Amino acid sequence: MSQHTLSYLQEMGITSFQLLHPERLVGYTPSELILPESCQLLLVSPQFPEGDSAQLFENILKTIKLTVAQAAHIYPAQLASLHQHQLKWVWFAGCQSQALEGVNLLSSDSLAQIDGDTQRKRALWQQIQRYQ
């Protein structure tokens, strides 16, 4: 299911489920994850940003001079499906980071843990400043 579809379902209050290990299914063929050309930042996190976390995510995007339309969220298991991209930033929030060539990498605790914690926000800000 596409991230766009998941967002609509969440807005309507419909819970969706995603297999953690689809490769274990007989006959599974992984599909390639294709991001919109406008996507500059990819948030890799086990939690989809919503509520206060979504507001924090938007505020952090502003510090990088990006909009929500220029960002996307995927779950950590989906990262293996990402092939071609034009990303400038990949942010691992609340999960193990992985090296990706040619992008600025950010790594932090989950958005929920960062929200309201000055020390964690400062650590993230220092990572952002290293690239600017």
Kindly state the percentage of the chain with pLDDT values over 90: 54
For domain 35-131, give the CATH number. Answer: 3.40.50.10220
pLDDT tens track for 51-104: 899 999 999 999 999 999 999 999 998 888 887 788 999 999 999 988 888 899
Paired with 33 in beta bridges are 82
96 Cβ contact partners less than 8 Å away, ≥ 6 residues apart? 76
Domain boundaries, the chain: 35-131
Q: Once rounded to an integer, what is the mean pLDDT over residues 115-121? A: 92
User: Contact 112/56 with Cβ under 8 angstroms?
Assistant: no
Q: What is the pTM of this model?
A: 0.77
Q: What pLDDT is recorded for position 109?
A: 94
